[in-house]
Structure 1
Amino acid sequence: MSTAAATAVPGILSAEFVQETLALTRRLFIQLQRRPSTLVAGVVQPLIWLVLFGALFQNVPQGLFGESTNYGQFLCAGIIVFTAFSGALNAGLPVMFDREFGFLNRLLVAPLASRFSIVLASALFITTLSLIQVGAIASLGVLLGTGLPNLAGIGVVLATVLILVFGVTALSLGLTFALPGHIELLAVIFVINLPLLFASTALVPLSFMPRWLQWIASLNPLSLAIEPIRYVYLHPDWRLSDVVMVAPWGSLSLGAALLILLAVALGMSLLIQPLLRRRLA
């Protein structure tokens, strides 16, 4: 079979799949264009957190938060990760509303090359929004004196955010098809969101926490994303073998943190595959 013929066959590697994925993604951006308050709120809220929390702790003694010269520098990594996490956790809401309003049923009976394009479109949309938010937070951070990592460090920041968004988006989409409606999905989001924030190293280092919370925070995926980003912000000459977190169970290097985070993201993705196949069949 020729290459042209192969790409014409409907399926996940076909030109039709790419076209319908882009069309569904464009539909989400059109919805965003009609309701820009969603994007504005998603960008402004983390900036407010960064300004207010940074001002709240600006007079703490230097060195109290590790090697950071000010609390804003310490906080920036936590705000970046938590914002990306919150956005990805909401990834299932557009699909849930499509499901409740009947649009998803119309898609399921349409001659799509692959129904996976519905899931991929949501993932692309959320990833783009997360990168916009990260760019806004990093830009404000520069104005507040947090600085920027070097070029390789920026690559680590982007890679960490993308891995986290990939895994949490998979979790959100799985919840979308497992739960009966958007009320239940919002309830789960509210229950997960803030506890994971406060049980991570986003706001304070591990040394500030009681022993039992240190165990939870060191195993929290948010901490596994925060610590590599925080480290590359503070160390221009970083290496993958450098220790970024000293947990109760042992030391964790930058490379190991990223590998564990990637394994968690892939695990979430594989976990929801049977559910997605069943619901999109």
Structure 2
Amino acid sequence: MSNTLTPPKSDPNWQQVASPQLYKNAAPSNFLSETIQETLALTKRLFIQLQRRPSSLLAGIIQPVMWLVLFGALFQNAPKGIFGNTTNYGQFLAAGVIVFTAFAGALNAGLPIMFDREFGFLNRLLVAPLASRFSIVFASAIFIISQSLLQAAVIVGAAAFLGAGLPDVAGLATITLIVFTLALGVTALSLGLAFTLPGHIELIAVIFVSTLPMLFASTALAPLAFMPDWLQVIATINPLSYAIEPIRYLYTHSDWNLNSIVMRSFWGDVSFGGALLVLVGFAAVALISIQPRLRKTLS
């Protein structure tokens, strides 16, 4: 008979089990892998919901294609020169439809979280032993931005089919970057509103009130020079214009570069690279501005 004593098993640290985020510094690799796993699982949940109810995605694809067809036909016989360097209004309109579709889709990013709040599912996530509660936000952002990129790809294909042409590979990659940056900034603002407003009625009201003014106060449907002075001022501070004009330049110029002038505003010329910097700045400001609210809600 052996006299060796087996040490008793230590009780699990239930505080660590209940609040693993407090111990993330002890095992950063595990924390990162668990956060990625949680984000992927929550993202998969959103895509399963989309698969069961694909009508929202189909509507988000069919509507902009209808815009291309109907508006392109409506202004087919417009006087030459009214749309700048192109006589093809479909080519002029394609950039506006791509950007506005991404904007409208990203503006709805807060609705799934808002519905989770109202149905109690968000509370279950907040009390669950997640490695990081920010995985809830990451999943929503990935889901919405993926939809925006898919819609943009369909619109680019439809515009090419309707005679607007197709940018080169570098141009398509730049369009992807522009759509991603804009969708990221707008998604951040929408998620911030989802954690701030009391219910989905208020969020939908904000979406309805802001959508059309942002569209008409941009260069999506008409060039800047075509607008009255006061509307030109608004359009030049609208982030949508800084996404539309570079994409439009890609459609009308094959020899573009970062120094190319894409917009001539009342305060000066805007280069291709300058427009991209404005979009990056807009996304950065949006992400920074929602941090206090997210930390208060998710902490």
Q: TM-score when scaled to structure 1?
A: 0.96
In the other structure, the counterpart of 1:221 is 239
Is residue 259 of structure 2 the alignment partner of residue 241 of structure 1? yes
Which runs of 5 or more residues in structure 1 are unaligned?
none
Q: For residue 268 of structure 1, what is the amino acid of its counterpart? A: A
Give distance in 2, aligned partners of 1:185 and 1:139.
32
1:187 paired residue number: 205
What does residue 156 of structure 2 align with? 138
Residue number in structure 2 paired with 1:148: 166
The offset of 1:64, in angstroms, is 1.6
Q: Residue type of the partner of 2:153?
A: G
Question: Pick from 62, 68, 71: which aligns with 1:44?
Answer: 62
Matched, 1:73 2:95: no
**Residue deviations 1:80-126, cap 9 Å, x none?**
00000000000000000000100000000001110110000000001
Which residue does 2:80 correspond to in 1? Answer: 62
Q: How does 1:27-176 map to 2 (within 5 A)?
A: 27-176=45-194
Q: Tell me how far 1:68 sits from its aligned partner.
A: 1.6
Secondary structure of the 2:236 match is helix
Contact 1:62/1:70 (8 A) holds in 2: no
SS in 1 for 2:211: helix
Task: Please state whether the residue corresponding to 2:259 is helix, strand or coil.
Answer: coil
Which residue of the partner structure matches residue 275 of structure 1?
A: 293
TM-score with structure 2 setting the length:
0.90
User: Which structure's CA Rg is the greater one?
Assistant: 2
Alignment partner, residue 228 of structure 2: 210
Structure 2 letter corresponding to 1:100 = E
Q: CA deviation at 1:6?
A: 4.0
Distance in 2 separating the partners of 1:78 and 1:85? 10
Please state how far the C-alpha of 1:262 moved relative to its aligned partner.
0.5
Local SS of the residue matching 1:269: helix
SS at match of 2:195: helix
Aligned length: 273
User: For residue 21 of structure 1, what is the amino acid of its counterpart?
Assistant: T
How many angstroms apart in 1 are the aligned matches of 2:237 and 2:53?
37
Query: Is 1:7 matched with 2:29?
Result: yes
Kindly report the root-mean-square deviation, in angstroms, between the aligned alpha carbons of the 2 structures: 0.8
